[in-house]
Structure 1
Amino acid sequence: MDPTVILNSTFQTGLLIKQIVEDVKANQQQCKRLSERIEAINDNLQSRKGQELKRPELKKSLDNFSHCIQDCLNFVAQFKDDTWASKLWKVLKNHTYKDQFVELNARLSQCAADLNLGINLKQIFDHTLDGKDQKVDLSYIESKIDKIAEAIEKTNAQQCEQYKNNREYMKQRFQSLKYSLQQDIMKIRDPVRANEITEEGREFLHIPYYDLGLKQRIGHGGFADVYRGTWLSQHHEVAIKLIRIQYLDDTIRKDFVNEISLLHLVLA
């Protein structure tokens, strides 16, 4: 393909990315940074003379750049979604797509280097800015936790129809969902703690409270009640033991987790 045609295509794709980024529902700052870097490369290429762009060694580099920004377009387009709450939920579950942003920015930087643009790559592709952008995007999601949880609860309303009159259960379910979101944010911010949680998760199956439906109390004790219930997402009948704990610090929690792990090993 003629280099001029490729250049026109990359310029149009860059404009489309810029338009989409203005309306993304998640990772706004990181998407904007990606778009600005594409624009900087395109602006430099647009200033090149036609004959200069037709050099054989630039043809492959232009092709690579064209493929790269097409991938960028497909990537940022997924964040332009009317169901913003489910999108933010997905972003959290995918650790804000950090690895994908790193990969695309690295590819863009390599394209700029291969094209020999004569621009300050260290300034344009400053990794400290990427870290700051991620923190800004994560803080935005954190500020919307209540709204995300409420929206997801509305989406799951049919699933919880039989429990809607049980205010205490619905309140606890909401708090469980909110806690799950907070845990996702914490794991992104604290890799060490995230690894500890991952290791703990391997010891036995963890089912969040919001994914359990209480049906009938079948046992009662001084410190706990046992219910017949449903594992909602899997449609399984389960027994649920609710333990009454007034205060749960890290030590008590670890002892509790160890007790469950031991019980799991005995029953396995």
Structure 2
Amino acid sequence: MDPTAVLNIIYKTAVLIKKTVEDVKANQQQCKRLGERIDAINQCLKSLNDRDLKRSEIEQSLDNFRKRVQECLDFITQFKEKTSWFVRVFKNQNHKEQFQELNLQLSQCANDLNLGINLKQLFDVKIDENDQKTDLNTIESKIDDIAQLMEQMKEEQYNHYKGIEENIKQRLNSLKYNLQQDIIKIKDPVKAKEIAEEEHAFLHIPFHDLIQEKRIGQGGFADVYRGRWLSRDHEVAIKVIRIQFLDDRIKGDLVNEISMMHQIHYDHILNIFGACMEPNNYALIVEYMSLGSLYDILRQKRFQLTWSDRYQFFTVTSSH
């Protein structure tokens, strides 16, 4: 790569480092020191003329320095991430060894570039030790905050894995239930007829054939999830009814209601594909509308509706 182009990359990366240092949540003093040392080396690089840049040995040294500067930016950025900086601090506190290694590499680059810099003064070990103490004291002052953030993260992880475990249990119960229903249909002709009549009313979709993804809505008696109907490989909305048990009368009424809705096919009404009617898992599986409802579109104003669109909405809604 052309030395001038490499220099431009180095200068731009140095500017990014300076901006990033302002937002780091920990080890700010050591991060700032890295940036200052890179700036000092860059000041000397800016004094190089075209003849200096054409020296064969400068190309490799410049490219090495570019790589080290990028590594510094990548390392510093870790302390800026809101969701993970405290984890790094919890595990390694002031990251003394990592900063020492980066400073050593920068010092070696400055030496290879032969810029006439007083490296002992620029990379003063005593200054580094003071920076380490300052950063460690700052971390100590944030112990309560770091502990609280760690606890929140652990709780989120626990809830995530707990949710996975619960979902696996539900899917296993769904498989067992459907197998039991198949056995009942073989052993008990009367019961088989009742099951057949219910299944004829609308498509019964087993819970184990559904994947609940993101929750997209919540009502007084149900939660709505964006999900996937596995056997059809179809994106759907899953309206999970918060009822664990239905007696025969209420279940019969619900079956009739779903059957009626299942038979309605109209351009402006969501299609109902079917329902899950398993114990502890009652849900409607309906058409998924990625843009949400008309109310959502009008309220959020994500789309600019023409007057023609508005007139069409008005005429359609007023004619029914």
**Under a length normalisation based on structure 2, what TM-score does the superposition of the two structures give?**
0.47
Structure 2 letter corresponding to 1:29: Q
- Give the aligned partner of residue 3 of structure 2: 3
Asked if the contact 1:88/1:141 (under 8 Å) is kept, the reply is no
Q: Which has the larger radius of gyration?
A: 2
Structure 1 letter corresponding to 2:55: R
Return the offset for 1:88.
Answer: 2.8
Return the offset for 1:50.
Answer: 1.6
Structure 1 letter corresponding to 2:79: F
SS of 2:31's equivalent?
helix
SS of 1:139's equivalent?
helix
Q: 1:160 to 1:16 in 2, by over 3 A?
A: closer
CA distance in 1, matches of 2:117, 2:149: 45
- Give the aligned partner of residue 20 of structure 2: 20
Asked if the contact 2:93/2:139 (under 8 Å) is kept, the reply is no
Picking from 119, 122, 137, the partner of 1:121 is 119
The residue correspondences of 1:222-241 to structure 2 (distance < 5 A) are none
Asked if the contact 2:86/2:146 (under 8 Å) is kept, the reply is yes
Q: Kindly provide the CA deviation profile for residues 196-245 of structure 1, in whole angstroms up to 9, marking residues without a partner as x.
A: xxxxxxxxxxxxxxxxxxxxxxxxxxxxxxxxxxxxxxxxxxxxxxxxxx
CA distance in 2, matches of 1:62, 1:141: 35
SS of 1:96's equivalent?
coil
Return the offset for 1:46.
Answer: 1.1
- Give the aligned partner of residue 106 of structure 1: 104
Picking from 144, 147, 150, the partner of 2:145 is 147
Unmatched 5+ stretches in structure 2: 160-320
Q: 1:135 to 1:56 in 2, by over 3 A?
A: same
Return the offset for 1:69.
Answer: 0.7
Q: 1:158 to 1:51 in 2, by over 3 A?
A: closer
CA distance in 1, matches of 2:77, 2:2: 28
Unmatched 5+ stretches in structure 1: 162-268
Asked if the contact 1:27/1:137 (under 8 Å) is kept, the reply is yes
CA distance in 1, matches of 2:149, 2:86: 11
- Aligned-pair RMSD on alpha carbons? 1.9
Return the offset for 1:58.
Answer: 1.1
CA distance in 2, matches of 1:78, 1:15: 17
SS of 1:102's equivalent?
helix
SS of 1:14's equivalent?
helix
The residue correspondences of 1:68-217 to structure 2 (distance < 5 A) are 68-83=68-83, 86-157=84-155
Q: 1:49 to 1:157 in 2, by over 3 A?
A: same
Residues paired across the two proteins, number: 159
CA distance in 1, matches of 2:27, 2:15: 19
- Give the aligned partner of residue 43 of structure 1: 43
User: Which protein, 1 or 2, shows the higher relative CO under an 8 Å CA cutoff with sep ≥ 6?
Assistant: 1
